[in-house]
Structure 1
Amino acid sequence: MISVTDKTILYTGAAGGLGMETTLNLLRAGAKVVAADNNPAKVADLSGKAEQEGLRKLMIRTIDLSDLATLRRELEAVSAEVGGFDIVINNAAIYPSKPFEDYSLEEMQAVQRVNVDAGIVCVQVALPHMRKKGWGRIINIASVTFYGGWTNLSPYVQSKGALVGLTRAWAREFGAYGITVNAIAPGAFPTDAEKIHPDPEGYTRFVLDHQAVKRRGMPSDISNALMFLASDAAGFITGQTLNVDGGWVMH
């Protein structure tokens, strides 16, 4: 049975294009969601929708994920307040686009800091509670770009590869404590991330040509996968990367 009732979830990028639908569904399912997001407009939209539905278990924390020391302090304070995190969803990411040779090392490190290092901090803060409880779920959001075929996104692809590697390492290390660790690799979803493409219609044709399912992905497609992996129903699945991409990647 898929249930997250009374679970406390730390969700980065929870108000974003693929985050909001899942956040609302988790709240509807009875979970408490600590939404870490620093986009004021999207946070206001999420808060408004939750309030409109009477979903009272939403906690918004406006945190700069690139400031790792502050992130750790704030998350430790929130963890103490809510009694620990049962589920961590590492979703937030930045995605600059330009040729590899035009990136400075500092720019590449900045992507790594937000997309990977912030997730490491989230897991380090949540892990003691999960181990003590003997139950936990960690879900990393990877990307179809990890499998190749994209130019000008080297730091982003590198960061998503790191998350896949951490998924496997954490799954092996944390399994003895009843903690599962999995990744979801979304395909090409129509979110703000697509605005980096100069020809939207051409990009849509490119996406559909590569997918087996000939429609664009919807936030609910990601939400359904996340809800499953976060539940007891997925308790014997760990170390896996689930491609939610309409059949783009098959292996």
Structure 2
Amino acid sequence: MSSLKGRRILYTGASGGLGHRTTLDLLNAGAEVYALDRDHSKNEALLADTPAPLQSQLHLIEADLADQPGLQSLLAQLTVDRALDAVINNAAIYPSKAFEEYSLPEHAQIHAINVEAALICTLAALPGMRKQGWGRIINVTSITLSGEWENLAPYIQSKGALLGLTRAWAREFGKWGITVNAIAPGAFPTDAEKIHPDPEGYSAMVLDRQAIKRRGHAGDIAAAIRFFLSEEAGFITGQTLAVNGGWTMQ
């Protein structure tokens, strides 16, 4: 797979359960990663796990994606001199309760972080990508779009919006050499699973539904992201890669 040496990558949720491993892989591949995450302790853990020779390539940015003016200002500074080569829209929140228990402000907050932040990041990167005639945008969606989950309606709605944007952006941006694709992770053992009251029972349920009888790990997602960022994936756009051990198949 081609090197990412010199590529500037904006990655939201970069210090989380799936982002941590991927960020390290991108750094090892030569990329310069602008890691946006609001969790200070996870950012510190990511920095501690980054080998000293690679730390100059890692730019940790603690930012609240719900602060849209602040996010726009930050991104303007990142793109003033050099283009961003890739954007990975990964950050999301996932409160769980019955649909009727969500307030309208809660719906708005989930949409702001899961969708509108992706809009802002993409808008910031687009002019530079257009000018250089090359870019990669990856939206992280979810297996929950398959319809097998309840009590996550606003989260699932937000991931559906990202899927629609993946296809719309792919159609619009392709003429500038920009590809836009989605990765739909299955059920991975990250902090997201803490919303389940019976972790062992949930894990058994996951393995029962998967064709591959092991739990997924962050390296599985990292490999998919590396592929979509590569030159080898330059003729693939508007697609969703399901990384779920064969839980759902297309």
TM interval, shorter chain, is over 0.9
**Does the aligned pair in 1 maintain the 2:9–2:32 contact within 8 Å?**
yes
- CA deviation digits over 1:110-143, x for unaligned, max 9? 0000000000000000000000000000000000
- CA deviation digits over 1:194-226, x for unaligned, max 9? 000000011011111111001000100000000
Displacement of 1:147 in angstroms is 0.9
Task: Report what 1:35 is aligned to.
Answer: 35
SS in 2 for 1:92: coil
C-alpha distance in 2, partners of 1:89/1:54? Answer: 20
Task: Report what 1:233 is aligned to.
Answer: 232
1:62 aligns with 2:37: no
C-alpha distance in 2, partners of 1:18/1:59? Answer: 18
C-alpha distance in 2, partners of 1:34/1:89? Answer: 10
- CA deviation digits over 1:82-105, x for unaligned, max 9? x12100000000000000000001
Q: Which moved more, 1:1-10 or 1:102-111?
A: 1-10
1:95 aligns with 2:94: yes
Q: Within 5 Å, which residues of 2 pair with 1:45-194?
A: 45-52=45-52, 54-80=54-80, 83-194=82-193
> What amino acid maps onto 2:222 in structure 1?
S
SS in 1 for 2:65: coil
The alignment of Structure 1 onto Structure 2 pairs a total of residues equal to: 250
C-alpha distance in 2, partners of 1:197/1:52? Answer: 37
**Does the aligned pair in 1 maintain the 2:75–2:121 contact within 8 Å?**
yes
C-alpha distance in 2, partners of 1:208/1:23? Answer: 27
> What amino acid maps onto 2:202 in structure 1?
Y
SS in 2 for 1:111: helix
**Does the aligned pair in 2 maintain the 1:50–1:56 contact within 8 Å?**
no
Task: Report what 2:19 is aligned to.
Answer: 19
SS in 2 for 1:131: helix
C-alpha distance in 2, partners of 1:9/1:71? Answer: 16
Two-structure CA RMSD over aligned residues (Å): 0.9
C-alpha distance in 2, partners of 1:51/1:236? Answer: 33
Task: Report what 1:247 is aligned to.
Answer: 246
**Does the aligned pair in 2 maintain the 1:35–1:59 contact within 8 Å?**
yes
> What amino acid maps onto 1:46 in structure 2?
L
**Structure 1: which 5+ runs fail to align?**
none
Q: Percent identity?
A: 58
C-alpha distance in 2, partners of 1:196/1:244? Answer: 21
Displacement of 1:2 in angstroms is 2.7
C-alpha distance in 2, partners of 1:3/1:55? Answer: 18
| TM value normalised by structure 1 | 0.98
SS in 1 for 2:80: helix
1:17–1:53 CA distance, 2 compared to 1 (3 A): farther
Displacement of 1:52 in angstroms is 4.2
| TM value normalised by structure 2 | 0.98
Displacement of 1:80 in angstroms is 2.0
Task: Report what 1:10 is aligned to.
Answer: 10
- CA deviation digits over 1:150-173, x for unaligned, max 9? 010001000000000000000000
**Does the aligned pair in 2 maintain the 1:11–1:33 contact within 8 Å?**
yes
